[in-house]
Amino acid sequence: MALSGETLVGRERELASIDAALEALGDGGAGCLAIEGEPGIGKSRLVAELRGRAEQRGCIVLHGQAAEFERDRPFGVLIETVDPYLSAQLDDGLGAAPEQLREELAAIFPALRGAGGAPAAIGDERYRSHRAVRTLFELLAEGKPLVIALDDLHWADEATIELLGALLRRPAEAPVLLALSFRPGSAPAGLTAALAAPLSTRLELERLSEDDAALLLADFDAESRAAIYRHGGGNPFYLEQLSRLRQPLRLDRDGAAPALGEVPAGVAASLSEELATLSPVARALLEAAAVAGEPFDPGVAGEIAELEQAAALSALDELLDRVLVRPTDVPRRFIFRHPLVRRSVYESIGGGSRLAAHSRAAASLRSRGAAAAELAHHVEQAASQGDAEAIEVLLEAAAAASGRAPAVAARWLDGALRLLLDADRERQISVRVALASALRSSGELERCREVLLETIALVGADDEPRRLQLTAWCAAVEHWLGHHDEAHLRLIRTWDELGDRGTPEATALQIELAIDGLYTLDYEQTLSMGAAALASAHEIDDPGLTALAAAALSLGESTEGSIEAAREHHAEAVALLDRLGDDELAPYLDAFYYIAWVENYLEHYDAALAHADRAIEIARRAGEGRLLIPLMLTKGYPLEMQGGLGQAAEICEAAVEAARLSGNRHYLFWALFELAWPRYFAGDLDGAIEACEESLRYGERLTGGTIPSSGGGPGWALAVALFTSGETKRAIETMQALGSEEIEFAVPVERCFDWETLALAELETGDVGAAEAHAKRAEDLAAGLAGLQLPLGLAARTRAAILLHKGEAKAAVSSARAGVDGAAAAGARLQAAFSRILLGQALAAAGAREEAIAELREAERELDSCGSLRERDAVRRDLRKLGVRREARGPAAGESGIASLTKREHEIAGLVTDRMTNKEIAAELFLSEKTIESHLRNIFFKLSASSRVDVARAFEREQRG
């Protein structure tokens, strides 16, 4: 006798939460239900109830279950959940989705994969896969609400957990409900952290009361019910399993309620008894299924058990009759009644028999054309050391996983290392290099460092070029970990021990030492090592190495303030970068990174963006993601200067996503405070403060630790956001915590920004003398920067603010106009608009009302076009004070038409012309719909368009010539 699997008791509270979530889903909102509890507590049963209720409401319901021994198949449970549905759709569920989205999804879902297989990817960009899946869910939910139910996520692979974290942090903009079940003590840290999001409702299942259990055991007498409950402890699966015993339990047996997570002896005995009654053929098939994995194909299980097809199918019938296995929604796919049943069966197989079974499993899957990723688990279990074929399978599986699941790639590379013979030294080195790369990409930086040190020891002194290359990489990892002293000592020691310093590898090490100096503002080290490296590169006559050395030296000079020298070496580096092809420059990507920052400081914003974009494309083709996040962040500054706040926020948000996945706290610290700036300039002060405070939690410091200088950090962004939001006292305290008033840790242009903030804060407190001292510092520095325009403009704007505060309006007009001119000459459009606000205010104070209105109106137009909405609204208030009631319509002369659009705006206008919706454009560009709406607002303004049709007409006119 056994209790019915259809009975659900004691879960009234949980069912009410399910109904509430489904009700909210029907209203169009996204949500998440997290169902957690010990093994056997009824998580899967509750998920089944949710699925049934969702189907009754007309939802699309997709269900999958992670399996204990299949944790190393990237996106395994997601594929099981979604792929059958995509296969069954005549139009694959994507409608007219853009090709780029289809390609990204095809890398995950076999149902969307063409003959060419999955497109290549680099692990550092796997956030693109997450955005693609979010968009897929939004598309699937367009007609009906979508429920994605994922069971047993404590066994999910790392790629799935990362994806769920991304979906929880940034939910789908559609009626999509995630129902996630897991064991709390075994759940991955990434999942539990993500579930802290407001989107999630957590349901913690408790054991049943004795009264509730009695409802399940209604067919038993009172004594049996009491005995079963005593031994099962109120766990539904335990109660069910104990009810299957042929001999009834008695109260006089030792049956103390088991602790959480422990399987009672009576339950284990019940499982053993149940399995013992199977026929030998059925037991063989069940053991083979436990090895094959879940869900299992009876054909594969039959081959593992070495059974003829007819015998295997007959055995399957017996297992189905005994409810040890059950069918899934997919034909020829079966799963065990409960994961504990599978574990019990798997562990009952003898060690030798298990090895043989995994070997047969690999052979069966190989005969069916299975990919290396499907073979790897079985191959690793069965292979012996030195098995060349097994090693190749594991390496192939690692290569396939590296682009979207680097943690899984690291798992297979570890497996390959265990099989490699010690004598195969060259292979030991190459696999460790690949392992270090996978560990870096997945964020395991400490272990990455350990592997690199092992590899350096294996390389030895007889291969100095490779040893130097690995040493430089190891030092970079130590810098990312914040171990700057260790990195510095490693580089110095290696340099001191170097025999031949005239080699390309020695020169590359010298360049690393030049960059190393920037971490501690040791400009003497940076400039001396950089100059020596450049001289050495000239002697070697290696153009790529020369470009790298010139770029590094120019970076040091521009951060130190030697602008003329920086210009000279910048020109040399750029000439080489322009001359060499992408393949030639692939080993020297750092040169692009350094030179783009130089161009930011030398006010060549378009060139900085172009060099960063070229480097990103080269990195993607080469499969090298090491510099992806730094290159993305390099673009934020010039976009902000040029007024592309939407694009700047977009690229910084993507960098934050990538940094979260990388596990690199240094990069996340950096990306978050860079994101704060476009938020601040756009007027989202709360968002800027939030990003800075999170950055501070990761970096544990207000400043320091980032290349190209130690000046980076959340400190100044936090201070200006606090000051602008009215928290002057806290802002000043933050500024004081950053160090001395000389702000020596910042690059020149940053110092001028910072002195302006300090001066404004002092004016707010009434200390005009202190404000004037800051303005004087800015003026003196700007005058010595060999004609850089933005520092001159910032210094003039600071002086104008002080003069206006003192009531010297006419003098303030002159300084404010110089501020506008300086920023405009630098190409810093947004800063010019900010300076124009001050100019308008000074003109108004001087009695020049009409001129003031003209300047403020121009500032209003510029700020609106840039997306700086808070400042725009402030300007409108100033205009109303001057008696101007009507808002500006359309852009100023020279700032209209297709030619005025940014590169991203032009791209979006073209997609609008192709009649794509906002959702489709967002999918094509891997952006949110809100970002597209923001860009479209700017496009409408610049084109004086009132509809998408107007945009399309303007774009088509341009295309016609």
pLDDT score for 623: 83
Question: What is the C-alpha to C-alpha distance for residues 123 and 755, in angstroms, rounded to an integer?
Answer: 40
- Provide the pLDDT confidence category of residue 462 given band limits of 50, 70 and 90: confident
pLDDT score for 262: 53
Is the confidence at residue 755, as pLDDT, over 80?
Answer: yes
- Provide the pLDDT confidence category of residue 470 given band limits of 50, 70 and 90: very high
Q: Considering only 2-11, 24-33, 258-267, 939-948, which range has the smallest mean pLDDT? A: 258-267
Cβ proximity of 490 and 475 under 8 Å? yes
- Provide the pLDDT confidence category of residue 849 given band limits of 50, 70 and 90: very high
pLDDT score for 808: 97
Question: What is the C-alpha to C-alpha distance for residues 341 and 77, in angstroms, rounded to an integer?
Answer: 19
37-51, 181-195, 381-395, 565-579, range with greatest mean pLDDT: 565-579
Task: Give the Cβ contact number of residue 52 at 10 Å.
Answer: 11
Contacts for 495 with CB less than 8 Å, ≥ 6 apart: 509, 510, 513
Q: Which of 130, 154, 126, 170 is nearest to 30 (CA)?
A: 170
Is the confidence at residue 897, as pLDDT, over 80?
Answer: no
Using DSSP's 3-state secondary structure scheme, residue 894 falls into coil
* Rounded average pLDDT over 674-697: 95
List pLDDT tens digits, range 290-326. Answer: 998 888 999 999 999 999 999 999 999 999 998 889 8
Question: Between the CA of residue 762 and those of 193, 437, 750, 773, 867, what are the distances in Å?
Answer: 42, 49, 18, 10, 29
3-class DSSP string for 135-160? HHHHHHCCCCCEEEEEECHHHCCHHH
pLDDT score for 717: 94
Question: What is the C-alpha to C-alpha distance for residues 262 and 225, in angstroms, rounded to an integer?
Answer: 21
Using DSSP's 3-state secondary structure scheme, residue 640 falls into helix
Question: What is the C-alpha to C-alpha distance for residues 331 and 600, in angstroms, rounded to an integer?
Answer: 59
Task: Give the Cβ contact number of residue 681 at 10 Å.
Answer: 25
List pLDDT tens digits, range 170-203. Answer: 889 899 999 999 888 777 777 888 788 778 889 9
Question: Between the CA of residue 561 and those of 142, 151, 479, 784, what are the distances in Å?
Answer: 55, 58, 24, 8
* Rounded average pLDDT over 828-839: 97
Cβ proximity of 84 and 110 under 8 Å? no
Question: What is the C-alpha to C-alpha distance for residues 840 and 874, in angstroms, rounded to an integer?
Answer: 12
* Rounded average pLDDT over 4-10: 64
List pLDDT tens digits, range 364-415. Answer: 988 888 888 888 889 888 888 999 999 999 999 999 888 888 888 999 999 9
Question: Between the CA of residue 258 and those of 184, 231, 752, 954, what are the distances in Å?
Answer: 17, 8, 68, 74
Question: What is the C-alpha to C-alpha distance for residues 622 and 581, in angstroms, rounded to an integer?
Answer: 13
Q: Give the gyration radius of the chain's Cα atoms.
A: 32
* Rounded average pLDDT over 74-96: 81
Please spell the DSSP secondary structure of 768-833, one letter per residue.
Answer: HHHHHHHHHHHHHHHHTSTT-HHHHHHHHHHHHHHHHHTT-HHHHHHHHHHHHHHHHHHT-HHHHH
Q: What are the tokens at 126?
A: 């796997």
Contacts for 412 with CB less than 8 Å, ≥ 6 apart: 72, 376, 380, 394, 395, 397, 398, 401
Cβ proximity of 223 and 194 under 8 Å? no
Q: Which of 318, 324, 288 is nearest to 305 (CA)?
A: 288
- Output helix, strand, coil percentages for the chain, rounded to the nearest 5: 70, 5, 30
* Rounded average pLDDT over 684-707: 87
- Provide the pLDDT confidence category of residue 795 given band limits of 50, 70 and 90: very high
Using DSSP's 3-state secondary structure scheme, residue 460 falls into coil
9-13, 143-147, 242-246, range with greatest mean pLDDT: 143-147
Is the confidence at residue 895, as pLDDT, over 70?
Answer: no
Q: What are the tokens at 135?
A: 């968009």
Q: Which of 99, 95, 103 is nearest to 141 (CA)?
A: 95
List pLDDT tens digits, range 503-540. Answer: 899 999 999 999 999 888 889 999 999 999 999 999 99
Question: What is the C-alpha to C-alpha distance for residues 357 and 737, in angstroms, rounded to an integer?
Answer: 64
**pLDDT averaged over every residue in the chain:** 87
- Provide the pLDDT confidence category of residue 6 given band limits of 50, 70 and 90: low
Question: What is the C-alpha to C-alpha distance for residues 265 and 884, in angstroms, rounded to an integer?
Answer: 84
- Provide the pLDDT confidence category of residue 232 given band limits of 50, 70 and 90: confident
Question: What is the C-alpha to C-alpha distance for residues 517 and 530, in angstroms, rounded to an integer?
Answer: 10
Question: What is the C-alpha to C-alpha distance for residues 127 and 170, in angstroms, rounded to an integer?
Answer: 12
Cβ proximity of 681 and 640 under 8 Å? yes
pLDDT score for 710: 52
Is the confidence at residue 284, as pLDDT, over 90?
Answer: yes
Phi, psi of 526 (to 5 degrees): -60, -50
pLDDT score for 222: 80
Q: Side by side, which strands form the sheet with 200-204?
A: 60-65, 146-151, 176-182, 31-36, 200-204
Is the confidence at residue 953, as pLDDT, over 80?
Answer: no
pLDDT score for 892: 56
This prediction's pTM = 0.82
Question: What is the C-alpha to C-alpha distance for residues 146 and 25, in angstroms, rounded to an integer?
Answer: 8
Which residue's entry shows tokens 């460790």?
A: 432
Q: Above pLDDT 70, what percent of the chain? A: 93
Q: Is 177 left (phi over 0), alpha (psi -120 to 50) or beta?
A: beta
Q: Considering only 1-10, 570-579, 653-662, 679-688, which range has the smallest mean pLDDT? A: 1-10
pLDDT score for 5: 47
pLDDT score for 544: 96
Q: In angstroms, how far is the first alpha carbon of the chain from the final one?
A: 83
CA 596 to chain CA mean position, Å: 23
Q: Considering only 466-480, 597-611, 697-711, 911-925, which range has the smallest mean pLDDT? A: 697-711
More confident residue, 80 or 94: 80
Q: Which of 520, 545, 547, 515 is nearest to 530 (CA)?
A: 515
Question: What is the C-alpha to C-alpha distance for residues 107 and 403, in angstroms, rounded to an integer?
Answer: 10
Task: Give the Cβ contact number of residue 915 at 10 Å.
Answer: 10
